[in-house]
Each structure stands twice: as C-alpha cells, then as structure tokens.
Chains A and B, each alone.
Chain A
Amino acid sequence: MKKVLEIIWIILIALTIFAYLLGYLKYIDSALVSILLISTFIKGALVIEHFMGLKDVAFKYRVIPTLWLAFVLSAIAVAYYL
C-alpha cells in the first residue's frame, strides 16, 4: 500500500501513451473517442482522489471536482456525437 502514488503514476503514464497512440490515427473512430474520454475521466479522477488527496476528505468536497470532470467530458462527448 506504500507504493500507491507510484502505481497511480504508472497508470496515468500508460493512459497518456494510449491517448498519444490514438493521435497517430488519421481518422479516429467515434467508439475510440468514447474510450479516450473515459480514459481521460479515469486519469482526472486519479489525480483528484490520490494526488490532490480528496479521497480522504468529506464527500461534498470530494465530489465537486469529480462532477466538474464528468460534466466537462460529457459535454465534450455531446458536442462530438450530436
């Protein structure tokens, strides 16, 4: 459990490499955009929970940035798919 920050860092790097590889595709399939947005949500949530340290904080403060992230990424998805 002592290496939690290291594990989070590795996951964040892996998801960033995944996004970068997607960027190489001339045309990105709309399903891939969904996966990219979900992976971005996971990255943001990991930063909020573990780096910002909000996992140890009362729910009302923890939920604000997570809701912000969910709202922004959902709106981006709406703009992309509609």
Chain B
Amino acid sequence: MTIKEKYPPGDFGVWIIIYIELVTFAMLFLGYAFSRRADVELFNQSQLMLNQTSGFINTIILITSSYFVAKAVQAVKSMDESNYKEFNKKASKWLIFALMCGATFLLVKITEFSHIFGEGINLSTNKFFMFYLLLTGFHFMHVMLGSIILFNIFMKTKKFGYTPTDTRGIESGASYWHMVDLLWIVLFPLIYIIR
C-alpha cells in the first residue's frame, strides 16, 4: 500500500481556483442540459449545424496535451540533485509538445468560430447557440490562459528552474491544464454528440 500525499499536487491556491471553475462550468452545463429539455427539437436541429469533427479533433488534441503535461511533471518529480538539469530538459521537451497542442486547439476553435459567425450566428440566434458560444468561448479563454501558464513553466524549465525541492509551480500549472481538459471531456459529448 502506498502512502498518500496529504495535499493535492501544486499550490493549494490553484485548487481553490479549480474548484470555483468546476462549479461555474457545472452551472453552465446544467443550464444547457435543462434548457434543452424545454426545446429538444431546436437544440437537435441547431446541433447538426456544428462541425463534430472539429470537436473530435480538439478532444484528441486536449487529451494528448494533458498526457504531455503529465509526462513533464513525471520528469520533474523523478529528478535528484545530480540530474536536475537533464530532467528540466526532458520536461521542457514535453511542454513544447503540449504548447503546440494548445496552439492547435485554439486554431481549430477559431476556424470553427469564424464559420459559425460567418453563418450570421451570434449569442441571440437561439438558446442552443447562446449556450454553445458561452460554454466554448469561456473554455477557449481558459485554454488561452492555460497556454500562457504552460509557456511560463516551459521558460522556467529552460533555465533549469525546477529542483527536487521546488516542483510546485509546474504541478500547479499542470493541475490547471488538466482541469481545462476535464471540462472539455464533459463539454464535447454534451454539446456535440448527445441529441
């Protein structure tokens, strides 16, 4: 039996932010789900206008980026005083892949948004698109913030900034990024698939 850590990885403050974000998104998810009940036909017809393939591609991208970030944390946590530079290098390699995934996600989403806006759809088109734009737009901002956080962590690994006694920064950033992934994992079937 392994001994459990007393606290979650990273700074406790980031976990407070994560819990608040989870509650906020939960309200939006439930707002969507129960509004759909009131007009199932409208939601189903509107949903067919979405590009499910771009939602699928973005899910694959975010899951893969989360894997890369988990590998970066694993590298940093395996280091000791004699090899911390080598493990910072390893972590930076994984983080570059994660950052590329983050940028690709944003590009795919911008393409999807420009198609939607090109069709003349906006927040007041109907309730489905109001929720779609609110949920995916809000999530988009979280991916942008997460990418900025990952970039800062990446820069620190380039300076060999993480040591065996200082890994909290990368753990905090990683936890935030995994939350962004977790939110999309719920959002994808809810908005793009279920009808």
Instruction: Enumerate chain A interface residues (CB-CB to B < 8 A).
Output: 5-6, 8-9, 12-13, 16-17, 19-20, 22-24, 27-28, 33, 36-37, 40, 43-44, 47-48, 50-54, 56-59, 61-62, 64-65, 68-69, 71-73, 75-76, 79-80, 82
Contacts A16-B56, A16-B59, A80-B194; is A40 near B33 (CB within 8 Å)? no
22 example contacts (A-B, Cβ-Cβ < 8 A) are as follows A5-B70, A13-B60, A16-B188, A19-B188, A20-B52, A20-B56, A20-B193, A22-B193, A23-B52, A28-B193, A51-B69, A51-B181, A52-B174, A52-B175, A54-B8, A56-B2, A56-B5, A58-B6, A61-B8, A73-B186, A79-B34, A80-B37
Give which listed residue, B34, B64, B73, B175, contacts A9 with CB less than 8 A.
Answer: B64
Residues on A with C-beta less than 8 A from B8 are 52-54, 57, 61-62
Q: Does B105 contact A (CB under 8 A)?
A: no
> Could you tell me if A53 and B6 are in contact, using CB atoms closer than 8 angstroms?
no
Which residues in B have their C-beta under 8 angstroms from that of A62? 8
The interface residues of chain B, by DSSP majority, are classed as helix
Q: Chain A interface secondary structure, helix, strand, loop or mixed?
A: helix
Give every chain A residue within 8 A of B188 (Cβ-Cβ).
16, 19
- In the bound complex, what is the Cα–Cα distance between A17 and B73 (angstroms)? 27
Contacts of A71 in B (CB 8 A): 26
**What is the distance, in angstroms, from A35's C-beta to the closest C-beta of chain B?**
11
Q: How far is the CA of A73 from the CA of B178 in the complex (A)?
A: 18
Contacts of A9 in B (CB 8 A): 63-64, 67
Given A20-B52, A23-B56, A51-B70, A76–B185 Cβ distance below 8 Å?
no
Residues of B in contact with A (beta carbons under 8 Å apart): 2, 4-9, 15, 18-19, 22-23, 26, 29-30, 33-34, 36-37, 52-53, 56, 59-60, 63-64, 66-67, 69-71, 73-74, 171, 174-175, 178-179, 181-182, 185-186, 188-190, 192-195
B5 engages A47 (CB within 8 Å): no
Q: Which of B63, B66, B69 has the most CB of A within 10 A?
A: B63
A58 to B9, CA, bound (A): 11
Residue of B nearest to A2 (CB): B74
Q: Given the known A-B contacts A13-B60, A20-B56, A28-B193, are A51 and B66 also in contact in the complex, defined by CB atoms under 8 Å? A: yes
- Cβ-defined partner of A53 (8 Å) among B9, B34, B182: B9
Task: Check A80 against B186 for contact (C-beta < 8 Å).
Answer: no
